[in-house]
Amino acid sequence: VPTFKLTIAYDGTAYLGWQRQTTGVTIQGLVEEAMARVTGADATVIGAGRTDAGVHALGQVASVAVETRLDAGEMRRALNAHLPRDVRVLEAETAPAGFHARYAARRKTYAYHLSTAPVVSPFERSYVWHHPGPLGRDAMRRALAALEGTHDFAAFQAAGSHPVETVRTLMRAALEPVGSWAVWAGAPASEASLLRLTFVADGFLRHMVRAIVGTVVEVGRDRLDAGEIAGILAGRDRRRAGPTAPAQGLCLVRVDYDENLE
Amino acid sequence: VPTFKLTIAYDGTAYLGWQRQTTGVTIQGLVEEAMARVTGADATVIGAGRTDAGVHALGQVASVAVETRLDAGEMRRALNAHLPRDVRVLEAETAPAGFHARYAARRKTYAYHLSTAPVVSPFERSYVWHHPGPLGRDAMRRALAALEGTHDFAAFQAAGSHPVETVRTLMRAALEPVGSWAVWAGAPASEASLLRLTFVADGFLRHMVRAIVGTVVEVGRDRLDAGEIAGILAGRDRRRAGPTAPAQGLCLVRVDYDENLE
């Protein structure tokens, strides 16, 4: 049975997230249905990141072992023919037998987009958290720096989550102003003021990025001091961190495996 | 009666274009309805560019003279409160009495986005023409260069259009590869290969940009030689130019007035 590695992009706006549910449409469900139509066989498609409802992906990676005579390029085209236009298989590759997109993932990159402009561009409306008004970027950067490294992130996981192991290594937590789609196309500068927070880690707890963003924005608003981050981490208490930022600003950008890392 | 200059962005996907129609929803219709709700008065909102159905805008400019006690900032907020999220007033300014967004426009900039990638990203699906496969960029650039300058553009207007004056000055017609939203956010490079064609002119005939893009793509596909462009212009015959490119790749980026030009 051949194994495939799929790189998938999706606009999560209309979906209940990656993971198959008994009610409601999910990305995993759509890809598995498309796979069944293409191959005639039922197969489980395993995603590297179990993105929540409304979260987007530019480079989700999934693995699937399925009986088929299609090669990888044919698989990509056939799946896309059975998927809605807001879910696209960007790439299909054959993978070694036993390849598991989640267990084998070494590093994931998430981006969170925040618009501080008075008005959100129609072209970004589904992909940013609109938080108008100034934010203290230097303080936010200090807060992000305090989160980098290997820490117990229990204070930044979804309330009610109880994974056995809450230690993760956050290799990068950065903030940068970016030109919006609009500025990028040469529009008037009034469309500026998009911020991107980028997070690279060996793994993320449920809601971890959104809890970090909610907390870092509290720092940017001067409601919390960057110096308190270390204490919040040490306290392991979700209630001491900030609110969970909205799902729609979050995007799974890429997943790296041994072969992508040096 | 105060006059306002509005800068408006819209995702044109769901609309019949700028201009008010007896049937169907248009941007002008939406802005005029919002204006009536906000001020209690009926007023005509004049757009600088009468974009077609499905065409987008990052910086449409509109003028309106309306009795109101609201200042420009209040006007912007009140209009946005009555507009759908895919239509946004980015800026409202007071303008001199008699300001007419169309007649006073000195220069307009349109962008056309073309994706040559095998798969179109979900994030660009409504904003590009998907034309998979290689295009000869150098030949396309020669064709664009042949169009720059002051010419009679009758060969590149909508079939059946008969304006009195078809001479326009195309100050810039350029092609550049651009990173997609995806590349821009750090996604895998498989998402590259977006091309942007930018057009700056003192005015555009109906369908002019789309006819030019359709023709230039024929050149990129080697079905037409860049050397034939001059003859097509001189022939003034729409049938000799290429097909009209799809509306969804087109975007009105900005409109310049005397005060923006040196």
> What's the DSSP call for residue A157?
S
Nearest CA in chain B to A84: B122
Burial of B87 (0-12, 13-18, 19+ CB in 10 A): buried
Cβ–Cβ gap B187/A127 under 8 Å: no
Verify whether the Cβ–Cβ distance A123 to B188 is below 8 Å: no
The pTM score is 0.91
Helix (H, G, I), strand (E, B) or coil at B220: helix
CA distance linking residue B245 with residue B114, whole number of Å: 10
pLDDT in tens, A145-197: 999 999 999 999 988 777 779 999 999 999 998 866 555 555 554 445 789 99
Q: pLDDT at position B191, please?
A: 44
Q: Are B105 and B13 in contact (CB under 8 A)?
A: no
- Summarised one tens digit per residue, pLDDT across range A1-24 is 999 999 999 999 999 999 999 889
Handedness of CA A212, A218, A220, A226 (dihedral sign): negative
| C-beta of residue A15 within 8 angstroms of C-beta of residue A27 | yes
Joined together, the tokens standing for residue A56 give 């987007």
Q: Mapping DSSP to helix (H, G, I), strand (E, B) and coil, where does residue B95 land?
A: strand
**What pLDDT was estimated at residue B159?**
81
pLDDT above 70 coverage of chain A, percent = 94
Using CB atoms, which residue from B76, B88, B113 is nearest to A122? B88
Taking the CB of residue B164, how many other CB atoms lie within 10 A of it? 4
Alpha carbons A122 and B83: distance in angstroms, whole number: 11
Name the residue facing B85 among A7, A122, A191 (closest C-beta): A122
Q: Which residue of B has its CA nearest to A179?
A: B184
- CB distance B9–A121 less than 8 Å? yes
Q: Note whether A192 and A180 are within 8 A (CB).
A: yes
- Contact flag A58-B127 (C-beta cutoff 8 Å): no
Average pLDDT, rounded, for chain A: 92
CB contact under 8 A, A190 and B7: yes
Cα within 13 Å of Cα(A181), Cβ side: 28
CA distance B86 to chain A (A): 5
Residues of A classed as catalytic: 52
Yes or no: say if B24 and B12 are a contact pair by the CB < 8 Å rule: no
Torsions phi, psi for B241 (to 5 deg): -80, 175
Residue numbers in chain B where pLDDT is lower than 70: 179-192, 260-262
Selected for mutation to probe chain A from B79, B86, B123 (highest A CB count within 10 Å) is B123
For residue B86, the model assigns a pLDDT of 96
What residue in B sits closest to A92 (Cα-Cα)? B190
Nearest to B10 by CA among B107, B108, B83, B114: B83
Query: Does A187 sit within 8 Å of B59, measured CB to CB?
Result: yes
A97-127 per-position pLDDT tens digit: 999 999 999 999 999 999 998 898 898 899 9
Q: Chain B interface residues facing chain A, Cβ-Cβ under 8 Å? A: 7, 9-11, 56, 58-59, 76, 80, 85-91, 109, 111, 113, 118-123, 125, 127, 178, 181-182, 184-188, 190-191, 196, 198, 251, 253-254
Contact check, Cβ <8 Å, B58/A182: yes
Chain A nearest-CA residue for B199:
A186
Residues of A with CB under 8 A from a CB of B: 7, 9-11, 56, 58-59, 76, 80, 85-91, 109, 111, 113, 118-123, 125, 127, 178, 181-182, 184-188, 190-191, 196, 198, 251, 253-254
A123 to B184: CB separation less than 8 angstroms, yes or no: no
Q: What is the DSSP letter of B198?
A: E
- B168 vs B146: CA distance, rounded Å: 14
Look at residues B185, B188, B212 and name the one whose alpha carbon lies nearest to residue B198. B212
A17 in the Ramachandran plot: left (φ > 0), alpha (ψ -120 to 50) or beta? left
Chain B residues whose beta carbon lies within 8 Å of the beta carbon of residue A111: 185-186
* E strand spans, chain B: 3-10, 46-47, 56-65, 87-95, 107-115, 129-130, 149-152, 167-178, 194-201, 250-256
Cα B237 to Cα B232: distance, rounded to the nearest angstrom:
7
Predicted local distance difference test score (pLDDT) of residue A191: 44
Chain B residues with CB-CB distance to A110 below 8 A: none
Task: State residue B197 phi and psi, 5-degree precision.
Answer: -105, 125
Pick among B184, B193, B194 to test the A interface (most A CBs inside 10 A): B184
Contacts with B193 from chain A: Cβ below 8 Å: none
Which residue of B lies nearest to A187 if distances are taken between CA atoms?
B253
- Across the interface, of A9, A182, A254, the residue whose CB is closest to B9 is A182
pLDDT at B190: 46
Interface confidence (ipTM) of the complex:
0.86
Counting one residue from chain A and one from chain B, the pairs whose CB atoms sit within 8 A come to 122
Distances (CA, A) of A56 to A127, A246, B104, B121, B196: 8, 12, 42, 12, 25
Name the residue in chain A with its Cα closest to that of B122. Answer: A86
| Predicted confidence (pLDDT) at residue A32 exceeds the cutoff of 60 | yes
What is the nearest CA distance from B31 to chain A, expressed in angstroms? 15
Nearest to A185 among B76, B190, B251 (CB): B251
